[in-house]
């Protein structure tokens, strides 16, 4: 596949599709609504940090859940809190080593993530305690921002049948030969295995969660959630929406490889294997 590099100016010239099928998607600056599980979104609404056409910030909707202590008065996860979480995570890596710190940080996130994707599914009792929603969303955003291992593991949780324990190992030890081979073969299978089809309910739950993260965390931390949205929308056969999410990720970080790959696939008509080989 030919890799295309996009300049920042090219993003502004494009029109991002913003239609959506979940009526509770947050308006710019509003708090993320809890979208019902199973519904599938299209490309995300503008981030609260984006400006309105008149140059003024969109008005905030004042709503707060008392249980979500990391939120500000508008219902967004505060930038100061996200920075503190990031700094704490980096310090733990320096103090405890990458493997130990990553395992402690990622394991509860992946187990809670898996419960969101597969509610009520029998799982081995590992004694982990679910985090408050706000804390969970913030930690996922920070983890994806800091580690491609966690990001790829969350993708695998949707497109593969890997167990939570296998997903944790993929996130914690992404460079180990066995893990790297497993991740590579699973991700590439979508291009060659026509029997690997999206579970739209699982995809919908994942996209709902990613949309909520995108609408509540600082803009800088939205790159990887948007890139994963783009990948899953592409895998679901929704190319226009996938391209919109990829462009939004690239407008924040022009070096986001996953978003570039998805955008290239949509522009060249490259489909997942279940839709037919090669170009559409």
pLDDT in tens, 195-215: 989 999 999 999 999 999 999
The reported pLDDT for the residue numbered 220 is: 94
Confidence of residue 16 (pLDDT cuts 50, 70, 90): very low
CA dist 83 and 218 (Å) reads 10
Residue-wise pLDDT tens digits, 255-279: 999 999 999 999 999 999 998 754 5
The chain-wide mean pLDDT, for the chain, equals 78
> What would the mean pLDDT of 4-29 be, rounded to a whole number?
31
Percent residues over pLDDT 90 in the chain = 59
Tell the residue number behind the tokens 């959506």, with chain if given: 20
263 found inside a domain: yes
**Number of structural domains, the chain?**
1
pLDDT at 70: 65
Top pLDDT among 51 and 23 is at 51
- The first and second tokens of residue 145, run together, are 């921002």
**Who contacts 196 (Cβ-Cβ below 8 Å, separation ≥6)?**
159, 189, 190, 272, 273, 274
Task: Please give the pLDDT value at position 129.
Answer: 83
Whether 57 shows a pLDDT value over 70: the answer reads no
Q: Is there a domain that residue 247 lies in?
A: yes
Confidence of residue 46 (pLDDT cuts 50, 70, 90): low
Is residue 63 assigned to a domain?
A: no
Q: Does 280 fall in a domain?
A: no
- pLDDT mean over 227-244: 96
- pLDDT greater than 60 at residue 40: no
Task: Say if residue 25's pLDDT is above 60.
Answer: no
For residue 271, the enclosing domain spans 8-47+73-275
Whether 251 has a pLDDT exceeding 50, the answer reads yes
Higher pLDDT, 120 or 18: 120
Gap between the Cα atoms of 89 and 214, Å rounded: 20
Q: Which of 6-20, 118-132, 198-212, 247-261 has the lowest mean pLDDT?
A: 6-20
Assigned domain for 99 exists? yes
Is the confidence at residue 35, as pLDDT, over 70? no
Q: How confident is the model at residue 2 (pLDDT cuts 50, 70, 90)?
A: very low
Mean pLDDT for the stretch of residues 42-54: 49
What does the pLDDT read at residue 44? 58
Confidence category of residue 178, pLDDT binned at 50, 70, 90: confident
Q: What is the DSSP string of 227-244?
A: HHHHHHHHHTT-HHHHHH
Q: Is residue 236 part of a domain?
A: yes
Q: Does residue 68 surpass a pLDDT of 50?
A: no
Pairwise CA distance, residues 144 & 122, whole Å = 27
State yes or no: pLDDT of 192 exceeds 60. Answer: yes
Structural domain contains residue 33: yes
Highest averaged pLDDT of the listed ranges 52-66, 179-193, 211-225: 211-225
Q: What's residue 28's pLDDT?
A: 29
Sign of torsion, CA 243 156 116 213? negative
Q: 57 forms bridges with which residues in the sheet?
A: 51
Does some domain include residue 251?
A: yes
Q: What is the mean pLDDT of residues 156-165?
A: 93
């Amino acid at each position: 596949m030919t890799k295309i590099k996009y300049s920042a100016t090219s993003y502004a010239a494009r029109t991002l599709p913003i239609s959506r099928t979940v009526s509770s998607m947050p308006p710019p600056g509003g708090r993320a609504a809890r979208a019902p599980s199973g519904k599938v979104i299209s490309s995300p609404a503008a981030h609260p940090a984006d400006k309105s056409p008149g140059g003024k910030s969109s008005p905030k909707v004042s709503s707060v859940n008392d249980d979500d202590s990391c939120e500000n008065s508008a219902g967004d996860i505060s930038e100061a809190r996200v920075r503190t979480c990031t700094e704490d995570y980096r310090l733990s890596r320096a103090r405890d080593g990458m493997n130990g710190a990553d395992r402690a940080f990622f394991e509860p996130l992946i187990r809670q993530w898996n419960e969101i994707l597969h509610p009520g599914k029998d799982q081995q009792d590992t004694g982990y305690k679910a985090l408050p929603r706000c804390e969970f969303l913030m930690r996922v955003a920070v983890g994806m921002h800091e580690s491609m291992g966690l990001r790829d593991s969350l993708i695998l949780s949707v497109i593969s049948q890997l167990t939570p324990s296998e997903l944790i190992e993929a996130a914690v030890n992404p460079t180990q030969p066995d893990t790297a081979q497993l991740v590579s073969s699973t991700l590439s299978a979508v291009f060659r295995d026509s029997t690997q089809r999206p579970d739209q309910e699982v995809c919908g739950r994942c996209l709902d969660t990613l949309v909520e993260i995108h609408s509540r965390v600082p803009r800088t931390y939205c790159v990887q959630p948007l890139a994963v949205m783009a990948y899953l929308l592409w895998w679901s056969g929704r190319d226009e929406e996938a391209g919109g999410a990829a462009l939004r990720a690239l407008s924040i970080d022009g070096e986001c490889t996953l978003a570039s790959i998805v955008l290239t696939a949509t522009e060249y008509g490259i489909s997942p294997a279940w839709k037919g080989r090669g170009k559409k």
